[in-house]
Amino acid sequence: MNWTRLLQKILRCYPPSWQARYGDEMRALVDDLLDGRGRARWTLAAGLAFGALKEHVHPTVNARGGLGAANVQQRLAVMGLVALPVGFAALGFVCDTVLVHDGAVVGFLIGCWYAIVLTRASFGSGHSTWEPWIVVVVGFVVLAWVLTFGGAGASPSAPSYFGQFVLVLGGALVMRVGFGAFLGRQQARELEPHVRSLLTGAWAAALIATAVLFASIYTSHRVAAQQSVAVCHAPVSRLVAGSGPGS
């Protein structure tokens, strides 16, 4: 096995900002360690791989090449990247038995959350004084109200409005604990460019997917509502027709 090539490949797994700051030094160190005698190379490889993983999850060097606590944001951004599609897919998977549109609502709001954070990171000024997670709670109340009582009609399998609210509020609070403190504007600015691009793609995909889902839900509810109206009106129509002048 060509250990030099393997170790160089593992070193390339470190975040770009880390490589820019420590890459040369670490390559020199790895060369020295490979030249040294009696050192287990697989231990070295495993240590480097673990270090690369750790640096992705708990970054030390920020995107500007500086060292700062702001990099803590990055790990949650990475977690968010994983949580967003997984959470959305999970909600979509169970939507047949639990509720139809909560998945769409939550996915849409998470997308809005990321949109706000990333937009503020790119164009905003001043420090954020409010919590983006409030968007999730307030947005859910508005959207759930519109979907449930605004004409589309409630799904027969959907829990009560209060039940849905509690469900999503709980989810939002969990997200607040997990993500809230990590998604400030300044923190998003500190993201690695590739992480920010991935996040932007993720929320854009979530917005598109939820828009499609909203449309399909609304259409199906509307068709169902029209059918039920037609079913209710049929006897009345027959009655009206039967009592007409031609009868």
Partner 1 sequence: MTSMGLRGSSDRSMLILTSLAGGPKHGYALIQDIEEFGGLTLGAGTLYGCLANLEQAGLIEPLPSDDRRRPYRITGAGSALLEERLEESRRIARIGLARIKRAAT
Q: At its nearest, how many Å lie between partner 1 and the CB of residue 97?
A: 45
Asked if 221 and 150 touch (Cβ cutoff 8 Å), the reply is no
Asked if 30 and 48 touch (Cβ cutoff 8 Å), the reply is yes
Indicate the residue among 34 and 89 with the shorter CB distance to partner 1: 34
Interface pick for partner 1 out of 22, 98, 131, 153 (rule CB under 8 A)? 22
> Which tokens hold the place of 27?
């390559």
Count the site residues for partner 1 by CB under 8 A.
Answer: 28
Interface pick for partner 1 out of 6, 16, 60, 85 (rule CB under 8 A)? 60
Indicate the residue among 21 and 120 with the shorter CB distance to partner 1: 21
The C-alpha atoms of residue 238 and residue 96 are separated, in whole angstroms, by 36
Q: Please report whether residue 43 would count as binding partner 1 according to CB under 8 A.
A: yes
- Dihedrals φ, ψ of 130, to 5°? -130, 165
Q: Which residues of 144-158 are buried (b: 16+ CB within 10 A; e: fewer)?
A: beebbeeebbbbeeb
Interface pick for partner 1 out of 3, 9, 47, 228 (rule CB under 8 A)? 47
Q: Please report whether residue 63 would count as binding partner 1 according to CB under 8 A.
A: no
Q: Please report whether residue 37 would count as binding partner 1 according to CB under 8 A.
A: no
Which of 111, 67, 77 lies closest to 179 in space, CA to CA?
77
By the criterion CB under 8 A, which residues form the site for partner 1?
21-22, 24-30, 32-33, 36, 39, 43-44, 47-52, 54-55, 60-61, 67-69
